[in-house]
Amino acid sequence: MERPRHQGMTKNTYMRWRLPLVCLLWEAAMIILFGVFVHFGPEADAHWEEEKHEMNITSDIENDFYFRYPSFQDVHVMIFVGFGFLMTFLKRYGFGAVGFNFLLAAFGIQWALLMQGWFHSFQNGKILIGVENLINADFCVGSVCIAFGAILGKSSPIQLLIMTLFQVTLFAVNEYILLNLLHVKDAGGSMTIHTFGAYFGLTVTRFLYRPNLEQSKDKEGSVYHSDLFAMIGTLYLWMYWPSFNSAISEHGDAQHRAAINTYCSLAACVLTTMAFSSMLQKKGKLDMVHIQNATLAGGVAVGTSAEMMLTPYGSLIVGFICGIVSTVGYVYLTPILESKLHIQDTCGIHNLHGMPGLIGGIVGAITAAAATEDVYGKEGFIKAFDFTGSYKTRTPSMQGGFQAAGIVVSLLMAFAGGTLVGAILKLPVWGDAADENCFEDDIYWEVPEDDESDAYHMHNPDKAASP
Amino acid sequence: MERPRHQGMTKNTYMRWRLPLVCLLWEAAMIILFGVFVHFGPEADAHWEEEKHEMNITSDIENDFYFRYPSFQDVHVMIFVGFGFLMTFLKRYGFGAVGFNFLLAAFGIQWALLMQGWFHSFQNGKILIGVENLINADFCVGSVCIAFGAILGKSSPIQLLIMTLFQVTLFAVNEYILLNLLHVKDAGGSMTIHTFGAYFGLTVTRFLYRPNLEQSKDKEGSVYHSDLFAMIGTLYLWMYWPSFNSAISEHGDAQHRAAINTYCSLAACVLTTMAFSSMLQKKGKLDMVHIQNATLAGGVAVGTSAEMMLTPYGSLIVGFICGIVSTVGYVYLTPILESKLHIQDTCGIHNLHGMPGLIGGIVGAITAAAATEDVYGKEGFIKAFDFTGSYKTRTPSMQGGFQAAGIVVSLLMAFAGGTLVGAILKLPVWGDAADENCFEDDIYWEVPEDDESDAYHMHNPDKAASP
Amino acid sequence: MERPRHQGMTKNTYMRWRLPLVCLLWEAAMIILFGVFVHFGPEADAHWEEEKHEMNITSDIENDFYFRYPSFQDVHVMIFVGFGFLMTFLKRYGFGAVGFNFLLAAFGIQWALLMQGWFHSFQNGKILIGVENLINADFCVGSVCIAFGAILGKSSPIQLLIMTLFQVTLFAVNEYILLNLLHVKDAGGSMTIHTFGAYFGLTVTRFLYRPNLEQSKDKEGSVYHSDLFAMIGTLYLWMYWPSFNSAISEHGDAQHRAAINTYCSLAACVLTTMAFSSMLQKKGKLDMVHIQNATLAGGVAVGTSAEMMLTPYGSLIVGFICGIVSTVGYVYLTPILESKLHIQDTCGIHNLHGMPGLIGGIVGAITAAAATEDVYGKEGFIKAFDFTGSYKTRTPSMQGGFQAAGIVVSLLMAFAGGTLVGAILKLPVWGDAADENCFEDDIYWEVPEDDESDAYHMHNPDKAASP
């Protein structure tokens, strides 16, 4: 009760003019830029009726919409419900977790449509969009949601919007370098989404280091029902991850294969997570933090290789390893990162996205380097790695090398970008909370005054007196 | 503790014979009517194997099932989880919100299959149904779920079933007038679903005005976790709205386009909702009521125009405006509606469905009136507005006029229908709760006696003594 | 406070070495077996590019992935979120419900891929898998989730893993007998999944009878929010059941028809459940237990016949009956099963899966026996029942007889298998909890120490003093 509020008094978390100004100006900017640049792609444009004739397309079902829309919706759920609810585990930060994730993702997808559009769908001064662009925009925002996990509970909505603006921009640049310049395959984004997102977020949180954060430690835990809310996020991420890793793969066997590999990897990951969660706890009890997070590492780690001929067997091995690495990370590495490196990683994204993302990049490089025409078939081999045009002469081992280079580039971009953004967010004008008010919705949200137990007591008058 | 229960004593909320009777008789009626009328449409009938040969269909994938089933499932989730959980924000009405929504929707979809079937799928004395009918039935019930939002917590399950019976009937009539007589386009239902549903519900709640409702004001709020449950509803509505608005559009580019437009509108809407939520609150804090509801207005408002060439840019503008209109409505209009017009609108459907629905109708009329062969392509133009047969000579500006007429018709039907139903529901025989027992599950549900804090205390014996 | 803990002291629930050992060894076994046997099926293999040419497949959309993947994802959600959250109704067993379901299903799908693969997808020493195998693996695990419902709260994670190992094995054998030897149709699994799963689980729980379970009775109930969590499970099962019953049906009209029939049956079931829930309670109030469970019985009971020409009308009748049977079962049968037959059925799976499963088998037999070429069309008739090859001469009435035999075989397999597994699980080495510690997460999980009401009080300091 006599908690010292003095420091909080000195921090101005009043959002009334700052937040609306940012939201409205930026949305106005989006409208202008969309007006200038964004048009429907051929398959979403009413001219498609004529295009079909010209291109001898005999059925509407050939529209890319039917190949990708179901996967798109699954990815959409992962971004908004998956990431949003995964972060509701904190006892008093559920509104912030779901609500700020909603805000940053809604802004981020618009900006990503533009940034990725300029790099990948730009024709005659127009960005032409279709369902694949929507998926890619969601993917891009996924990397911001990951970074959000590191600074969850410690940052203002304005900081999150600024981070989103920069991170989406840098994501698109990094993605362009990897996919177009290095001609790297990364359909499920082990490198572009997870590695980049995680190390970007960790660098940012390093810059925002709060030495007195232990003043909020009492709120940095879960309660019983907040852990169940978080499991909604976990399960939707886990279940829909096969859609995530297959969403933008080539039509046909590649999408099919990516879904199967991811399914297998995730299944294996659950068992090793459970095993190590129990093994590393003195009383042998399972820890919800591990179940909520480490079970997903298998999906991260086949992000690059899922559409390749990784095989179900290889996927199980990857999942097996990542469940262990991730759980061990939560138990041993996270405390060290905080105490030694001053990296305060609220959700443990280093364990869920950082290390598994790196593993995913490496697995992808090895799988690519090991590819043979025998395994893929002559045509399948060329199609799988797009060894056409100027890449006609590239060999699997060269491809493996470029894949490895992609990991390094992603890491460098993450550190450089994180440094830039961390430095900006450190400016004392963005309205973040004082150290003792972290992990607390009350700072930015109207929180219902009535508490639950009162509601129950009201309902059962006799109970109110007894306890 | 000494709350006066006298009025409650006079109201008979005993459901034991009334509710089962209505449920069983009505379900029996459904069985008889289905037996007489409902048959599988050609694509769901086992004769399709032969039909394929006759119609030279070479692949099973041409079955409408594969064009629409994924969207159907998303719409299904919106009706049952989306609307159901959106209304769980009340601290003591979660069972009623989810459970009664479940009940009325399960009945409504059956009755809608019949009513819409008679109007649209009737051939040789048979209603032929397929996946598109399932979607339309869900849509129809959506308008009832909307109206339920206005009387949430104040009505008995029997009243809800009666409202469903009438509203579905009138919905089908209104839909027939709009789609068949006026030849209006309204794939996402801004007019038929949202405008009609909202003003219908508002008229009903006006009739059921409770002058002493403030006796239940202590229960008309949320608690922390009920707000998180409601966010599940919000997010599923928000994420799947692109499926909603594209579910019954023409195959190919129209479905593709409708999904993109809706995606854009919804994204913009989130930012202006957040901006105005913070701006209109003295302390600049965000209000969960706005986030839960106004963020969805952008989806409502492109319901008519999403399948047209609204463009992503136009969609952003619509979303931008609707986030503002809806949030301002919650802050300023809802209290006025209650105090001046005696319209008690529990969920604020006027802000989420009423005004955005009207805007959606207007945007649709303008977009239709502005259509040109240049923008749509010659064939696309005819296909988009179905300017064939007796509508061959209709011009875009005429179409715009008919669209506008559709708004007026929907409003008139809503007021007339709401008046009829409101008057019926006012009869004192349906078992609604007394004013001081509104927003309280205990009236109609077995509520677990054990309260949560007891459960926790039991678990931690030392804690039980301390607080 | 002075609860006697002595018995608990004698039971060793320490999991630290046993659980990790089982998880790691079994997962290692999976890796080895997958390495030896599992390969991508032709449509998921990179050679498909060449296969397409050979088989004259002109479009990637003909890949089975596009026919089944959306349904697969819905089934996946049913297994992990549907079953997982349905069982969170217990006030203090939410972690166990969701978490153990996650564990057993993640292991089960791997083992099912192998077991079902050996029986159905085995070619030249290889198991060839595709999306249909993933669906079937999920289906198989569904029967384990059902059995888990009977022993929920009373078993250790090791017991659950052992049960999964055996039950998946026996499921595959039973499925082989039904589908391959008896040539029975059971696309939605009324017999193979529900009847088998339920009576298997009931036999197991009979063996694990705990005479002193009433010591845990205070925890065998729900609290307000746990009932809402359970409704998430209920609704996802209810909404996606049309996908479940149509997921592995023949392409085209059969999938389409199965979805429609299931949709209808489930809708009817809700109304009779509500009717009987209110009717059978003295005060006429609705009981969440019934709403959470009996509303789903309609989906179970059309599992066999949904892909047949059951007609929407027939589906309504089946749903009508099953809502009643299931609700009556909860009220009258469950207590009798416990007191007379010593079957302690935590979730009432006998009412949700047992009886409706049997009804489903019978309805399937009747529908098959009543099939005529007139109703199905000449080609449709042959296709629907696969009356080709050695089954060319089978008549509908013969098929009906074989269907009925399938029910009997499933029951016998369930009793025999349940006896075997029940006897094994009774060994006192698996770490199950003492009678007074059942339905309590604290035994196997790290449970957050802070209770919710404390969190709230911390937040509102003035409140903390008052109650």
Q: What is the ipTM of this complex?
A: 0.94
Please name the member of B98, B453, B456 whose beta carbon is closest to the beta carbon of C228. B98
Which chains border B (3 or more CB–CB pairs < 8 Å)?
A, C
Which of B75, B236, B262, B263 is the best substitution to test chain A (most A C-beta atoms within 10 A)?
B263
The parts of chain B modelled with pLDDT lower than 50 are 1-9, 452-467
Asked if the Cβ–Cβ distance from C31 to A376 is below 8 Å, we say no
Could you tell me the pLDDT band of residue C467, with boundaries at 50, 70 and 90? very low
CA distance C290 to C282: 15
Amino acid residing at C43: E
CA distance B64 to B70: 11
User: CA A38: distance to chain centroid?
Assistant: 25
CA distance A383 to A391: 12
Q: Check pLDDT > 90 for residue C68.
A: yes
Beta-ladder partners of B40: B129
Q: Check residue A272 and give its pLDDT.
A: 98
Q: Check residue C450 and give its pLDDT.
A: 54
Asked if the Cβ–Cβ distance from B380 to A47 is below 8 Å, we say yes
Q: Check residue A9 and give its pLDDT.
A: 47
Structural domain boundaries in chain A: 32-46+64-442
Question: What pTM did the predictor assign?
Answer: 0.95
Query: Which tens digit of pLDDT belongs to each residue from A65-101?
Result: 999 999 999 999 999 999 999 999 999 999 999 999 9
Nearest Cα neighbor of B259 from A126, A71, A78 is A71
Q: Check residue B12 and give its pLDDT.
A: 87
Q: Which run of H or of E encompasses A92?
A: none
Q: Check pLDDT > 90 for residue C373.
A: yes
Q: Check pLDDT > 50 for residue C87.
A: yes
Give the chain B residue nearest A224 (alpha carbons).
Answer: B456
Across B67-150, the runs of DSSP E, i.e. the strands, are 122-123, 126-129
CA distance A316 to chain C (A): 6
Please name the member of A69, A444, A464 whose beta carbon is closest to the beta carbon of B285. A444
Nearest Cα neighbor of C50 from A61, B60, B61, A381 is A381
Chain B residues touching C286 at Cβ < 8 A: 15, 95, 99, 157, 444-446
Q: Check residue B10 and give its pLDDT.
A: 59
Give the chain C residue nearest A240 (alpha carbons).
Answer: C73
Asked if the Cβ–Cβ distance from A46 to B286 is below 8 Å, we say no
Give the chain A residue nearest C455 (alpha carbons).
Answer: A91
Chain C residues touching A310 at Cβ < 8 A: none
CA distance A19 to chain B (A): 6
Phi-psi region of A4 (alpha: psi -120 to 50; beta: other; left: phi over 0): beta
Q: Check residue C10 and give its pLDDT.
A: 59
Q: Check residue B57 and give its pLDDT.
A: 93
Q: Chain A to chain B, count of Cβ pairs less than 8 Å apart?
A: 263
Q: Check residue C160 and give its pLDDT.
A: 98
CA distances from A28 to B148, B300, B321 (A): 35, 21, 11
Q: CATH for B32-46+64-442, among 3.90.1150.10, 2.10.10.90, 1.20.1370.20, 1.10.3430.10? A: 1.10.3430.10
Chain C residues touching B60 at Cβ < 8 A: 67, 251-252
Contact C430, C207 (CB under 8 A): no
Amino acid residing at C136: N
Asked if the Cβ–Cβ distance from A31 to B295 is below 8 Å, we say no
Please name the member of C19, C38, C63 whose beta carbon is closest to the beta carbon of A313. C38
Furthest-apart CA pair in chain C: how many Å?
Answer: 81
CA distance A43 to chain C (A): 16
The parts of chain A modelled with pLDDT lower than 50 are 1-9, 452-467
Amino acid residing at A432: D
Give the chain A residue nearest C461 (alpha carbons).
Answer: A1
Chain C residues touching B158 at Cβ < 8 A: none
In this structure, how many other beta carbons lie within 10 angstroms of the beta carbon of residue C282? 6
Asked if the Cβ–Cβ distance from C49 to A375 is below 8 Å, we say no
- State whether residue B64 is helix, strand or coil: helix
Please name the member of C31, C43, C131 whose beta carbon is closest to the beta carbon of A316. C31
Which chains border C (3 or more CB–CB pairs < 8 Å)?
A, B
Please name the member of C255, C270, C375 whose beta carbon is closest to the beta carbon of B106. C270
Contact B385, B399 (CB under 8 A): yes
Q: Can you give the C-alpha Rg of chain B in angstroms?
A: 23
Instruction: Give me the mean pLDDT over the C370-390 stretch.
Output: 94
Nearest Cα neighbor of A300 from A179, A193, A385, A407 is A193
Beta carbons within 8 Å of A44's beta carbon, 6+ residues apart: A65, A129, A130, A131, B253, B256, B257, B260
CA distances from B438 to B4, B218, B221 (A): 14, 10, 12
Q: Check residue A10 and give its pLDDT.
A: 59
Nearest Cα neighbor of B446 from C38, C284, C34, C321 is C284
Q: Check residue C155 and give its pLDDT.
A: 96
Chain C residues touching B106 at Cβ < 8 A: 266-271, 295
